[in-house]
Amino acid sequence: MGDPTPSSKTTGKTGKSPEWADGLRQLYDSVVDEPLPDSFKDLLSKLDDSDGPSPE
């Protein structure tokens, strides 16, 4: 990704992260890793064609 890498201070100043902290990230990552539904691909391809689906 073109992002400046976000810093990984997930534990804050508590030092030790609770057991569930990994779960939170897994929850997020599990969605990130899902294959993209076709509706999104369709939308992205529409954005290609014109200046956008809605008139400005």
Partner 1 sequence: MSESKRTAAEKADFKRELTEVVPHLRAFARGLCGRPDMADDLVQETMLKAWTARERFQLGTSMRAWTFVILRNAYLTDMRRNRFRGDYDEGVAERILTAPAGQEEPLHLSDMHRALLTLPPERREALLLVGAGGFSYEEAASICDCAVGTIKSRVGRARAALNSMLADGDIPKRSIKDAAAHRAILEELDEVAAGNGVAN
Where do contacts with partner 1 occur on this chain (CB under 8 A)? Answer: 1-4, 6-10, 12, 14, 18-34, 36-37, 39-40, 43-44, 47-48, 52-54, 56
Query: How far apart, in whole angstroms, are the C-alpha atoms of residue 41 and residue 36?
Result: 7
- Minimum gap (Å) between residue 28 Cβ and partner 1: 4
DSSP string, 2-24: -SPPPP---SGGGSSPPTHHHHH
Q: How far is the CB of 10 from partner 1 (least distance, A)?
A: 6
In the complex, least distance from residue 31 CB atom to partner 1, rounded to whole angstroms: 4
